[in-house]
Structure 1
Amino acid sequence: MSGTAWLSLGSNLDAERNLVSAASALRERFPGACFSPVYRTPAIGFAGPDFLNAAAVIDSDLDVHALDAWLHALEDAHGRDRSQPRFSSRPLDIDIVFFDDLVLDGPGHLQLPRPELKHAFVLRPLFDLAPGLRVPGDGRTLAELWAAQGGEPGMARTGLALG
C-alpha cells in the first residue's frame, strides 16, 4: 500500500549538514518531497545541544512498514546509534507522523499518529505545511492543535531551507 507520509525530521549533532543531506536523500527517493521551514528547539528530556527540526511530506510507493525500514536505514547511514538512551543527542531522527489516515499501534515503536505530535517541535513544522490537515483518529486539524498547544519556549525559526 502506497500513500502520503508526513515526516518529522530532527538532528542535534552536525544538525545543518545532516538535515540537508537527509532532505536530499528524501527528494532523490521520493521526487516531489516538500519541506517545512526549519526550527531550532532546545533538547527535551535531557541536557544536550539544541535540535534543528523540520517536517516533510512525501508520496511514498512503499507501505508504511517498508518506509519505516527505509527511514531507519537513512538514519543509520547518518551515524544513528540505537544503543543510546531514547532521550539523547542524535545525528538524524526521522519519524512517520501520519501515513494517509492510518491509525496504528505497533509492531515495535511504530505508532500512527506519532505521540510526539503533542510537542511543538513536531507540530509546528507540520502545521506550516498543512494547517487544515485532520489528524487521523482525532479529527482536529493541525491548526486547531497548534492553537491549543501554544508553542514552546526557546523555539525559533531558522533561515535554513531544505528545499
Structure 2
Amino acid sequence: MNRAYLSIGSNIEDRQDHLLGAVRALHAYESINVVEVSSIYETVPVGYTDQADFLNLVVCLETVLDAPELLSVCQAIENELGRVRKVRWGPRTVDLDILLYNNDNIESENLIVPHPRMSERAFVLIPLLEIAPAIRNPVTEKFYSEEEAVRDRGVILWKTVDGIGLLS
C-alpha cells in the first residue's frame, strides 16, 4: 500500500464545496482511501495575484495506484469539477497536487515528487504539518517544520473540519 499527501486548493466560489467535492471524489475511487484531512486554510494567491483568495487543505491517502496513476486520477477530478487552465497559477475551481508519494523521489516529464515548490509555500506546509507534524523531506531528510515558509503569517485557519468525517 502506498501513502501519499495531496494539496487541494480552490478560489472560485463555492470554494469549500469544491474542496470537499475533491476529497469525496478521491475517497470514492475504489483504489484510494482518504485517511486524514487537514483543516481548511485561507491564503492570498501566489504567483498571479490578481484573483480571489484561496482555500487550501491537505489530505493523506493510501492507495494501490502508482504515482502516475494517482496523477491521472487527480487530473480527472480537476476536470470533473470544472477546472479550466487559462492562466498559469490563475483562478481555479480546484487544484490537486501530489506533494509526497511514500518516500519516493520522482522526476518525470509530468510529475515531480516531492512537489518542487512545497517547501516555499506556507499554504501547503501548514495544513501538511497539522496532519503529519513530524514529516520530513524524503530527499533532504530535513523536517518540513523547519522550513522558513512555516513562519508565514499569511495563512489563516478558515475552518476546522471533522477529518474524514466530512466524507459521509
Give your verdict on TM over 0.5. Answer: yes
Distance 1:32 1:96, change over 3 A: closer
Alignment correspondent of 2:155: 155
Deviation at 1:152, TM superposition (A): 2.9
Deviation at 1:75, TM superposition (A): 0.3
2:159 maps to amino acid: G
Gaps (5+ residues) in structure 1? none
Alignment correspondent of 1:22: 22
CA distance in 2, matches of 1:160, 1:92: 19
Distance 1:12 1:130, change over 3 A: same
Alignment correspondent of 1:59: 62
2:78 maps to amino acid: E
The answer as to whether partners of 1:26 and 1:33 remain within 8 angstroms in 2 is no
Of 96, 107, 110, the residue aligned with 1:94 is 96
The answer as to whether partners of 2:106 and 2:114 remain within 8 angstroms in 1 is yes
CA distance in 2, matches of 1:150, 1:22: 25
Alignment correspondent of 1:36: 38
Alignment correspondent of 2:131: 129
Confirm or deny that 1:79 pairs with 2:82.
Answer: yes
The answer as to whether partners of 2:43 and 2:155 remain within 8 angstroms in 1 is yes
1:100-135 CA-partner distances (Å, limit 9, x unpaired): 111112222x11110221210111111111111111
- State the identity %: 29
Alignment correspondent of 2:5: 6
Q: Secondary structure at the match of 1:33?
A: strand
Gaps (5+ residues) in structure 2? none
Q: Secondary structure at the match of 1:68?
A: helix
Of 34, 44, 47, the residue aligned with 1:45 is 47
Deviation at 1:153, TM superposition (A): 4.2
Q: How many residues align?
A: 158
CA distance in 2, matches of 1:128, 1:160: 11
Distance 1:144 1:35, change over 3 A: same
Q: Secondary structure at the match of 2:98?
A: strand
1:62-112 CA-partner distances (Å, limit 9, x unpaired): 000000001100000011113x1212000000010100111112222x111
